[in-house]
Structure 1
Amino acid sequence: MNIQRALTIAGSAARGGAGIQADLKTFQEFDVFGTTAVTAIVARNPRTGQGIFPQSWDAIEAQLVTIEDDIGVDALKTGMLFTKDIIEHVSDWIKQTTIQNIVVDPVMIGKMGSALLKEDAMDAMKNDLIPLATIITPNMPEASYLLDGMELNSVDDLKEAARRLIELGPKFVLVKGGRLEGPAIDVLYDGKQFYLLKAPRINTINTNGAGCSYSAAITAGLAKGHTVQDAVIEAKKFITAAIRHSLMFKAGVGPTYHAAYGKYDETGCTVTIEQV
């Protein structure tokens, strides 16, 4: 049996809704074989306080080499890398591989309030990692940070942000408009053409891991040989269904439900694609 392989290089989220846990659940739902390189362990709670425990590069490299040598990679995504050192090392490792499908989710702030990227790591993110990307998937605050505080208040602002971000070197930019009012609109840009992806907005606060899962779904699509546009469209349907059926547990922002698409929500959503 042949199965495509997707790698996530990201943090481990103890709550299970984000990070590599969300990525693996997403990969499974898309029928790709998931592998992980853990960059940090994240466990934030009132009793022990905010806890982020970065892994050494030796530990991360050991995971990556094992995956490359024993399993192989059809597509990879990066999530929480946290430090300048990890970003630089991961970028160097990617350059030494032949992996063609690279999704960079520039994770900076978690929904539980954790700072997931150190301040001195921004230049490494911009100059070392993003230029390697097939696609980057910032949400509005992340796009603003990458663009030195640019204000984003409208779809036109998202388009302008995408224009500026493509200059950093990725092949595609997906700016997610989850914080705008009205329909959930994301802007996909390839340097020439804009695509507006519109889906119904779900009235819930339980969106922990939505960004991780969205980018993981794109990664899975690329691993299976889909075009970037098709991978993004399918991922948008997947994450809309996951948010519509999101979960609420004992405390905090609840997670999206990865099993919803195609099982409890057959259509996922109607995504309107508008080329502009």
Structure 2
Amino acid sequence: MTSLGRVLIIAGSDSGGGAGIQADIKTVTALGGYAATAITAVTVQNTLGVSAVHPIPAEVVEAQGRAVLDDIGADAIKTGMLGDLAVVEAVARLLDSARGVPAVIDPVMIAKGGAALLSPAATGAVRALLIPRAALLTPNAPEAQVLTGETVATADDLRRAGEALLMAGARAVLMKGGHVPGKRVIDLLLTPDGETVFEAERQDTRHTHGTGCTLASACATGLAQGLSLTEAVARAWAYVQEAIARAPGLGAGHGPLDHGWPLRGKA
């Protein structure tokens, strides 16, 4: 029997509900956890893209996180869209104040529609401040390419970039292969002890908005509930695959997943 699992999510709001804080809360809830939040930005977006971003001041982001940690507490922390340097620095302080709580760092840089969600100045801070604090880092191929400076276009590239990110201080790295061409999607979980491969037939669908947010939040929920890293990632990976398959088909662009499918059973 897993524990409830308290997850503090530090990320931006998606008005369309498919990614960001909304996807995170849905995911944590569907997997039986408890979601609390520190919102970093309010975005104006739908399945067609992001049309505006309103940042939340870093001191307010930090105050939200401290309010949660000082009262409710957390069994895991998940970060998503952070936006700028000051917020990255605030998140590093929050993580340091919650030592022993595993942090799942999703280095969100670009929205599905192409909008930039992390300033250039903040990218170096993610590399210097957050990667060494990550119990699990969950970059996709473009993000890994920015963080390592290496080309990431094949499964072998994923592995090399993941190893470089381990060397940069992450305790584990889940390299997401959705951007790597091929009939099958291959994700690699890399730790100092070895590698676990997650592989499935690529689903032919445009409804993949928020997959990265969802996967990272699902991993954080598993860790918060006391699962081992491999168990947490395996459950998260299966959850996301099913959520994509059950996508409700909303919107004219990159539509959302069906985050709530476990609440309705597998039928």
Distance 2:199 2:164 in 1: 22
C-alpha distance after superposition, 1:26-75 (max 9, x if no partner):
000111110000000111379xx721111012211221121112211000
Distance 2:93 2:62 in 1: 11
Aligned with 2:153: secondary structure?
A: coil
**TM-score, normalization: structure 2?**
0.94
Q: Which has the higher contact order (CA 8 A, sep 6+)?
A: 2
Provide the residue aligned with 2:233 in structure 1.
232
Aligned with 1:153: secondary structure?
A: coil
Distance 2:199 2:231 in 1: 14
Provide the residue aligned with 1:22 in structure 2.
23
Alignment identity in percent?
37
1:18, distance to aligned residue in structure 2 (A):
0.3
Distance 2:203 2:107 in 1: 24
1:229, distance to aligned residue in structure 2 (A):
0.7
Distance 1:134 1:99 in 2: 10
How many residue pairs are counted as aligned between the two chains?
264
C-alpha distance after superposition, 1:113-136 (max 9, x if no partner):
221100111110000111001010
C-alpha distance after superposition, 1:112-168 (max 9, x if no partner):
2221100111110000111001010001111111112x2222211111111111111
Q: Is the 8 A contact 2:103 2:220 kept in 1?
A: yes
Provide the residue aligned with 2:171 in structure 1.
171
Q: Unaligned 5+ residue runs, structure 2?
A: none
Does 2:203 match 1:198?
Answer: no
Distance 2:263 2:29 in 1: 13
Does 2:7 match 1:6?
Answer: yes
Aligned with 1:44: secondary structure?
A: strand
Q: Is the 8 A contact 1:135 1:171 kept in 2?
A: yes
Aligned with 1:38: secondary structure?
A: strand
Aligned amino acid, residue 168 of structure 1: A
C-alpha distance after superposition, 1:172-229 (max 9, x if no partner):
0110011231221101110231111112321101100000000000000000001111
Q: Is the 8 A contact 2:8 2:65 kept in 1?
A: no
Q: Is the 8 A contact 2:66 2:94 kept in 1?
A: no
Task: Output the aligned Cα RMSD.
Answer: 2.0
Q: Is the 8 A contact 1:75 1:99 kept in 2?
A: no
Q: Is the 8 A contact 2:16 2:46 kept in 1?
A: no
1:247, distance to aligned residue in structure 2 (A):
2.7
Aligned amino acid, residue 110 of structure 2: I
Aligned with 2:255: secondary structure?
A: coil
Aligned amino acid, residue 19 of structure 1: G
Provide the residue aligned with 1:96 in structure 2.
97
Does 2:259 match 1:258?
Answer: yes
1:264, distance to aligned residue in structure 2 (A):
5.4
Distance 1:36 1:190 in 2: 28
Provide the residue aligned with 1:274 in structure 2.
none
Distance 1:98 1:192, change over 3 A: closer
Q: Is the 8 A contact 1:177 1:185 kept in 2?
A: yes
Aligned with 1:73: secondary structure?
A: coil
Provide the residue aligned with 2:218 in structure 1.
217
Distance 1:120 1:226 in 2: 35
**TM-score, normalization: structure 1?**
0.91
